[in-house]
Structure 1
């Protein structure tokens, strides 16, 4: 595609793979349309290695002290009594301002809530000369996604778009989820690397890129039925992978770039984070059941998906098995798959980024 001279600056964060995955796909699509798109990790805008510390701290909390992350989330992410501007926002704002002056983009698009706060902070004070667009990657948009300096929001499902518009009074446009195009191209099960399941239905157990949550307990529940073979997606957690391969039930997979092939043979997916993997499952036509979600945004996102009719929320092991049993060629399965597929009929995010508010 011939370059158009247009530039978009995309702010992401290396806090798991979801934010970066959305940012990378948006950049790829913009570039295919001749728009120069640069992705910047907003954590690198923080001085004195604070970004690295923030990433490591978050990983430690969700991996080893989820109760602590739940407390942090409650106080800072959803409480109305939290400070309106965090010190992290102020520390990074100056460097973002310098970056915008140097790159001269026509808009700044944030795919992470801290980025949304930083861009909104500058915009509200007339220090950001271009629109601040926030692409909400969560199914439940907590207050840190929302800033009065934001010009426009893009949301990947109707319920989120309605909630954000009601909370902010700003345009909140619905866009088709940003997944790689191969997820929408259904593949034959024979291409799947899972291997023979000896009559058991393969059920993916997603632990996100961090490989966290109580996925081992979930795998044991599935294996005990004799009807479902757990296929645990361990992300980049090598310790979890080794532990499951040594003594865990079912199959344990490391981080893979061929998830479209894995989805091709999956009966369903049990998820605990309500992130990008769920939207990839929707694209691939794989129904999602939420079980033992990680605290904070994981639990809120799982509840939001279930309320929207996009997934099933199982609160116990018995409910998990019952939910999976109900998906065996039933109208409930067809409805879940249809509602997930319908999300992709919305306008493309790259078109909305480059156009006026709807």
Structure 2
């Protein structure tokens, strides 16, 4: 594959940022749009582009991944939960992308070639996996970021090569560094959301609390049960119901609330969600990563209903842990649950304060700063290191517990101070034979020895060296007993 070179970020041309997403739900694309919006605020970025990789894939591939997911959510939620758990262990998915995905990735590769980015941000794991393959082949020379879009980290997002990994909360960062990932390559920024600097808080402290009931962009039928339950509430309130693109749902709810007079306002899809989020006192809906992040940034606590098994359940767990949400597990108790929040003195105010503390409105800007000001060389995680991380995580063992040949070591760029490779200690042998330096470190060079390198070592060197012929690195780890015995 021909190398897709990009101009240096220090050239007069400035940064060219490409944001790759996948339209499985609206959250990934919303995060991509938020990052693009943040690009416009940086004078060093001269152009940005968002690409939904599914939109340039075949119709069959798009339907299987996009529509197929929502069919499972509606009809086989237990299978969605099983799939989430099965793909959660770190580095369970290793190696090159499968042939079907590779075939559908060709238009994405062509788009990258045409745009010639200096930096690429992925808000879905599909393009992140593709970029890892391109980095290891030496086919791309752009800084790459993986940006997760849920509060709990899922191992499916881990790839074998990237420049920076951005997670939603500190616990996820701690988890990844405990598994062995270098701390300089993982940052907890929050989930990127659109900035709305002109939207001021408009909550009416003197009026009854306003409920914002959301059926999601597609308009989930669960909203009917929510609205029906609120009709039986004892507390004073007003409600705005957003039905998304589902016109039939909107008509059903309008008929349902007609006897209640002007207490309810029923909307279809609206561009006024930023204003509604800041005007409302309590959000009732699903805890998608982007929806939850937008609520938290607006200081809006949540009543969680009908979460998708897997990521949305875990999002809800985090929000409840922070005191910014309550969850309804039965449709028959939704009205009672909301009543409990509204009737207890001070409870709503405490939940609003917790939401405000949890919000990260500057996440998109922080992602760009962390990527563009971060390491210029990618981090490569060898397959042996990936296998160790997977095996030990299943045994509930963290990286610092490892000793012997299977322990993890890092190669650190001596000039930049950034970690460029994570490998197993036993893999150092061949590198030391060819690249050992007098100070105990290594000086990596393009191989000219008569004995060819093994495939794994060859692609490791290719990714680390990039356009250089020489790279001095130092070795950090493994624990002292192994280094003394074998050093």
Q: 1:315 to 1:31 in 2, by over 3 A?
A: same
Give how far 1:262 is off.
1.6
Q: C-alpha distance in 1, partners of 2:249/2:315?
A: 24
Greater alpha carbon shift after TM alignment, 103-112 vs 326-335: 326-335
Q: Which moved more, 1:203-212 or 1:166-175?
A: 166-175
Among 79, 85, 88, the residue aligned to 1:78: 88
Residues 1-358 of structure 1 aligned to structure 2 (within 5 Å): 4-34=13-43, 35=45, 36-47=47-58, 49-75=60-86, 77-78=87-88, 83-84=93-94, 85-167=97-179, 169-170=181-182, 171-175=185-189, 177-182=191-196, 185-189=199-203, 201-212=209-220, 214-227=222-235, 228-247=237-256, 250-316=264-330, 317=333, 318-326=336-344, 328=346, 332-341=350-359, 343-344=360-361, 348-356=366-374
Q: 1:278 to 1:339 in 2, by over 3 A?
A: same
Closer, same or farther in 2 for the Cα pair 1:211/1:88, shift >3 Å?
A: farther
Q: Distance in 2 between matches of 1:355 and 1:185?
A: 30
Deviation track 1:205-264 (CA, whole Å, cap 9, x = no partner) reads 223212236332222333311324443322222232222223358443211111232223
Gaps of 5+ in 1: 191-198
Contact 2:93/2:156, CA 8 A, preserved across alignment = no
Give, in angstroms, the shift of residue 62 of structure 1. 2.9
CA contact (8 A) 2:195 2:361 kept: no
1:289 partner SS: strand
Structure 2 gap ranges (5+): 1-11, 376-417, 419-487
Distance 2:119 2:231 in 1: 49
- CA distance in 2 between partners of 1:213 and 1:176 (Å): 30
Match for residue 403 of structure 2? none
1:59-95 per-residue CA deviation (whole Å, 9 max, x = no partner) reads 33334543443344344x3367965455554334444
Check conservation: 2:91, 2:158, Cα contact below 8 A: no
Equivalent pair of 1:10/1:40 in contact (CA under 8 Å):
yes
Give the match for residue 194 of structure 1: none
Structure 2 Cα separation of the partners of residues 183 and 18 of structure 1: 21
Assess if the C-alpha contact under 8 Å between 1:139 and 1:157 holds in 2. Answer: yes
> SS state of the match for residue 112, structure 2?
helix
Contact 1:122–1:149 at 8 Å: present in 2 too? Answer: no
CA displacement at 1:9 relative to structure 2: 1.2
The 1:122–1:348 alpha-carbon spacing in structure 2 relative to 1, beyond 3 Å, is same
Q: Distance in 2 between matches of 1:88 and 1:150?
A: 23
**Cα contact 1:271–1:278 (8 A) shared by 2:** no
How far has the Cα of 1:183 moved from its partner?
6.4
Give the whole-Å Cα distance in 2 for the aligned partners of 1:157 and 1:81. 20
Match for residue 195 of structure 1? none
Shift of 1:7: 0.7
SS in 2 for 1:7: strand
TM-score (structure 2 length as normaliser): 0.62
Q: Structure 1 residue 109: deviation in Å?
A: 0.9
More displaced, 21-30 or 169-178? 169-178
Contact 2:298 2:356 in 1 (8 A): no
Distance 1:255 1:168 in 2: 44
Number of residue pairs the alignment of both structures matches: 347
Q: Provide the TM-score with structure 1 as the length reference.
A: 0.82
**Aligned counterparts of 1:263 and 1:142: Cα–Cα separation in 2:** 28
> Using the alignment, how far apart are the partners of 1:83 and 1:255 within structure 2?
37
Maintained 8 Å contact 1:61/1:68: yes
